[in-house]
Homo-oligomer: A and B are copies of this chain.
Amino acid sequence: MIDTGPAPDSTGAFILAVDAMGGDHAPGIVVEGLGIAAERHPEARFLLVGDEARLTPLLARCARASAVCTLRHTPDAVASDCKPTVALRMRRASMRLAIDAVARGEAHGVVSAGNTGALLALSKIVLKTLPGIDRPAMAAIMPSARGDVVMLDLGANVACDTRNLVEFSLLGDMFARTVLGLTAPTIGVLNVGSEELKGDDRVRRAAEIIRASHIGAQFHGFVEGHDIAAGTTDVVVTDGFTGNVALKTGEGALRLVTDLLRQIFTSSLSAKLGYLLARPGLDQMRVWLDPRRYNGAVMLGLNGVVVKSHGGTDAEGFAHAAEVAVDMVAHRFNDRIREGLGRLVSVMPPETHAPDAAPSPALAATR
């Protein structure tokens, strides 16, 4: 099962490189998670990069995973507290080798539950951004009253300019089409008010350009913080600072209430009985808000699919992250982004430093 460099697509299957050693509970939950993903996506194959001595016995215990994984040994791994600058020098780390496999065309995408900063830095350096994209963005799916919502950027870029926000709207649109299966997702730009005059120049100009672009009909305009959970739009576009804070603030508020509910329902015998009576609905809510269902932040705008699983996730959560990558590869996410970028060039004013060049066929071939 030791890998000798398989040709991609030789069997028509999707191949994902997997950093087996990243995350708090790696590699156990990684192998188990791939087993779960394999059952739901029989077309997926995985190039599992990590410590052979630890992975071989895990694969031996999980037949489903073993059947779809090829093992590539390396003893090195990026620690969770490793600085990105240090990670960049670790040429034999499992995360690095997994990304390298994408760059070399051996895999269509990479999944890691490891160090986020390192994954982002390595992906940018090794895979590089798509031609025409200034900066990649981190996107994720979150629950709302009206269905799943895609939000980006969640922290890849602390500061963003007008051009970045416009590109994020394109990336978010395509992500919502690909992973949520929407045909014309609505798009909102996060602001401090919904009126056109609100906010700074950066968001106002971005709104103008998006409105004039080929996705203009899908553009809702500005949305506010409460619109995220309300599901006012399918896609919420913002800079990485605001997006990161908003994501974590929303998660924190949900945790506050769910912790309170747990306390309430265990506070007395009567409350415990109350929980049992209301349980079907409460369990449904828990499943619906389950962070594992929303696991898999995606780095969009790179020459390759890169999915970051939450470091603390379990096998089910890791399977979800892997499935996000499978969906993106299956729906030719990056090819479609290239098409959209070509159409964006015409509406992006030069002063927003318009996309560098038309998509390169050579790069497109490696996806």
- List residues of chain A with CB under 8 Å of any chain B CB: 143-145, 155, 158-159, 190, 192, 199-200, 224-230, 238, 240-242, 244-261, 263-265, 267-268, 270-271, 273-282, 284-285, 289
- The answer to whether A278 and B275 have CB atoms under 8 Å apart is yes
A265: which B residues are within 8 A, CB to CB? 278, 281
Query: A229-B253, A252-B226 in contact; A245/B278 too (CB < 8 A)?
Result: no
Query: A200-B158, A260-B285, A278-B264 in contact; A192/B244 too (CB < 8 A)?
Result: yes
- The answer to whether A250 and B277 have CB atoms under 8 Å apart is no
| Cα-based distance from A5 to B192 in the complex (angstroms) | 38
Other A-B pairs beyond A250-B250, A271-B277, 9, CB < 8 Å: A158-B199, A228-B252, A229-B252, A230-B252, A241-B242, A245-B246, A249-B249, A265-B281, A268-B281
Least CB distance from A212 to B in Å reads 23
| Cα-based distance from A186 to B240 in the complex (angstroms) | 26
Query: A229-B252, A230-B252 in contact; A245/B190 too (CB < 8 A)?
Result: yes
| Cα-based distance from A232 to B221 in the complex (angstroms) | 34
Task: List the 7 closest pairs (A to B, CB-CB), nearest first.
Answer: A225-B248, A274-B277, A274-B278, A264-B281, A226-B252, A225-B249, A229-B252
Least CB distance from A68 to B in Å reads 35
| Cα-based distance from A243 to B254 in the complex (angstroms) | 18
| Cα-based distance from A255 to B256 in the complex (angstroms) | 12
A240: which B residues are within 8 A, CB to CB? 192
Interface of A is mostly: helix
Closest to A277 in B: B274
Question: Could you list 13 A-B pairs, sorted by A, with CB under 8 Å?
Answer: A144-B256, A199-B241, A225-B246, A225-B250, A226-B255, A230-B256, A246-B246, A249-B249, A249-B253, A257-B285, A261-B261, A264-B278, A278-B278
Closest to A227 in B: B252
| Cα-based distance from A192 to B248 in the complex (angstroms) | 9
- The answer to whether A271 and B278 have CB atoms under 8 Å apart is yes
| Cα-based distance from A265 to B271 in the complex (angstroms) | 13
A263: which B residues are within 8 A, CB to CB? 281
A199: which B residues are within 8 A, CB to CB? 158, 241
| Cα-based distance from A238 to B192 in the complex (angstroms) | 14
Least CB distance from A193 to B in Å reads 8
A270: which B residues are within 8 A, CB to CB? 277-278
- The answer to whether A228 and B249 have CB atoms under 8 Å apart is yes
A252, A279, A284 — which one has the most chain B CB atoms within 10 A of its CB? Answer: A252
Closest to A273 in B: B277
> A225: which of B224, B229, B247, B268 is its contact (CB, 8 Å)?
B247
- The answer to whether A259 and B159 have CB atoms under 8 Å apart is no
